[in-house]
Structure 1
């Protein structure tokens, strides 16, 4: 039998699927997954944090798994997704907590720290740094810089295009993304390419045939089940850069003042893409501690769980006092 508990929380406008583990009286630690991930990507952290006495809460984010997937693309803006977690915290009576996010979950964690400076007492982001609110929507800058080249975020903008390609053979898609987001794998990630913007993303790439070692068959089955209703909801997260920019106007220039942790793998292609943001992050997150995990790609909490668990536990033990 699994050690975790599953429940469906009815929030104001969606139903949130939530997995939890650890003593019900433990200090709440929220773990937020990214794309194309699932709650099960945190399985190693759930056990380690629960063993340390924390109450671990892992939602299936909006659009994923058993959580509601609204049809409208604008339902997936950053503030709305933060609102899901805030509403769940309210429903569970969490006055204080720590929030940890990976990939897309990291921007949600960073912004929850901004929106909830009293409730969120410590925050951690894995793989994606905090860069603050840009001077104009990020999508505008991408369109300017990559107008003659392929960029996966631009490819995601037209509804239905990416979904048709990526859903055609979902196991292949997941295998390619799991292997490709590690620069040491040698198969390339295809995030940005020197080719015309038209055309598919993964169609010309060679299928590795099996998931990487860090995703055994039972875990891979959970990923597949997460996306059995398709990828429209998860990809809609990428269709809200302008709306995100508009809705975060009140947060412009705000620093994250809480104790903060940033972890990235040395073979994560995001490290190169976001090098400038990582370098300047201490100006925006004064208490941030930054760590690079060696021989590790983008799916850091699954690929290098022992190193990640050690860093997270040390960070929480120094900054969170359990009752």
Structure 2
């Protein structure tokens, strides 16, 4: 059950992958600001149950290379990385698990290449159909009224410098603010024109009940080394992603899907529409489970690890892979 690290080259981009176990592949897709390490507890649980648990550092994160061009970070490009990873493993299909940007990847992958997805297991970010207008048209109006990270992250170099100058403080503040221990949408009470560290709450000293000092230090070391530009470039492609999905408008997700969310998740509350579960059910016809985890937030797989591991293993058992 040793954790293995390896690299593969995908069209000139070197990707780092962490793996544990043997068997049917289960691929974990992280979000911002995370790396593959954010899944290490789930890798152990899934590998112990007899599967091949695989967590890549997605493009621009951790030990995977970060292309210089902003447009290199579209969902379509990263989905190409994931399909190349499957090919490298010799796997026709895999179960994909996603959170945050990783959830968006899993949903879009399920639309673009459903024949490669045995099942989609998504945490906190429900599927929603392609909106009629570009995302920036929505967030620009909101950002005129209050601070909004989606808008603040758009200008290259601005957030990059702020966050890279204080990586440990930023990660502590953002992880805490997104958890069930804080109400993240309180950051909207701040006026526009501020930096992210100006609006995030102070974090209590580590360790926390759901995150150890050693785990936190591992993540800090990676972002201290790499900075945050790779991850921020994902935000700078939100409109480009919208443009590239015109052919997917109106499609539903046909693969078997399982959805779990934290009761206090800010994406469910403020970024997923008025009735995200109704929208999810209407657009994912083979939705086999919806689970709400009490008192948890956006980092639900760390905050309530046992509940998430149980959910994952139940989904894999239901799929029969």
* TM surpasses 0.5: yes
Query: For 2:46 and 2:165, how far apart are their aligned partners in 1?
Result: 37
Alignment of 1:206 onto 2:202: yes
Contact 2:127/2:279, CA 8 A, preserved across alignment? no
Match of 1:225 in 2: 221
Match of 1:299 in 2: 299
CA distance 1:191–1:97, change in 2 (3 Å): farther
In structure 1, the gaps of 5 or more residues are: none
Shift in Å, 1:260: 0.2
Shift in Å, 1:276: 2.5
Shift in Å, 1:317: 0.6
Match of 2:256 in 1: 259
Query: For 1:15 and 1:199, how far apart are their aligned partners in 2?
Result: 36
Secondary structure of residue in 2 paired with 1:291? strand
Match of 1:44 in 2: 41
Contact 1:65/1:225, CA 8 A, preserved across alignment? no
Match of 1:107 in 2: 104
Shift in Å, 1:207: 4.1
Shift in Å, 1:165: 1.4
Alignment of 1:159 onto 2:156: yes
Alignment of 1:310 onto 2:310: yes
Match of 1:71 in 2: 68
Alignment of 1:213-292 (within 5 A): 213-227=209-223, 228-273=225-270, 274=272, 275-288=274-287, 289-292=289-292
Contact 1:124/1:260, CA 8 A, preserved across alignment? yes
1:229-287 CA-to-partner distances (Å, cap 9, x unmatched) read 10001011000111101111111111111110111111212221125233211111112
What's the Cα RMSD here? 1.6
Query: For 1:301 and 1:249, how far apart are their aligned partners in 2?
Result: 32
Aligned length: 316
Query: For 1:74 and 1:138, how far apart are their aligned partners in 2?
Result: 16
Shift in Å, 1:191: 7.0
Moved more, 216-225 or 151-160: 216-225
Contact 1:179/1:212, CA 8 A, preserved across alignment? no
1:128-165 CA-to-partner distances (Å, cap 9, x unmatched) read 11112111111221113432221110010111111121
- TM-score (ref. length: structure 1): 0.93
Alignment of 1:119 onto 2:148: no
In structure 2, the gaps of 5 or more residues are: none
Query: For 1:262 and 1:246, how far apart are their aligned partners in 2?
Result: 26
Query: For 2:119 and 2:320, how far apart are their aligned partners in 1?
Result: 7
CA distance 1:140–1:191, change in 2 (3 Å): farther
Query: For 1:191 and 1:15, how far apart are their aligned partners in 2?
Result: 39
Shift in Å, 1:320: 2.9
